[in-house]
Copies of this chain bind each other. A is one copy, B any other.
Amino acid sequence: MKNPTLPLFEHWLYLNQYHAQIEQTLEKNLTAMHDLSLKEFYVLYFLAQKSEKQLRLQDLQESVGLSQSAMSRLVSRFEAKGCGVLERRTCETDRRGVYTSITKKGEEKLNEAMKTVDQILAQRFKECNLESLFAQPDKITP
């Protein structure tokens, strides 16, 4: 007797669309203005967060949310781009491991790119009625 398409799902669709729009805007602007993919930006961000300015591939995958193989190749491509924001180095104490570290140049690039990102996020977060996204779905259509 229930409505087969409950408003719960419509909420998800809305959230989905909202997320996709922001993601696409970030991707487009980072690429155009900083020659960075969004995921490359994430990598720089998570590296910069660490005081040692470096992370194992393993830790990067978890943070960014990619598979092990995808992250391995992402970092490879990123380093191969030759923009010098990133370095790979075999771990001395465990020579299976690979450390990826961000360079000074990388931190500067990150800071510049972060300005763009923050600007976009500020605008998007403002222009959208966020509360309605997460009003209790049950209470919207009785």
Show the binding face of A for B, using Cβ within 8 Å. Answer: 4-6, 8-9, 11-12, 15-17, 19-20, 22-23, 45, 48-49, 65, 110-111, 114, 117-118, 121-122, 125, 130-131, 133-134, 137
Q: How near does chain B come to A25, taking the closest CB pair, in angstroms?
A: 11
| Number of copies of this kind of chain in the complex | 2
| Given the contacts A114-B6, A134-B134, A17 and B121 also touching, CB distance less than 8 Å | no
Q: Are B65 and A11 in contact, with the CB atoms below 8 A?
A: no
**Chain A binding site: helix, strand, loop or mixed by DSSP?**
helix
Q: A121 to B11, Cβ gap below 8 A?
A: yes
8 A-B interface contacts by CB (under 8 A): A5-B48, A8-B122, A9-B114, A9-B118, A11-B125, A12-B22, A12-B121, A125-B137
CA distance A25 to B28 in the complex (A): 27
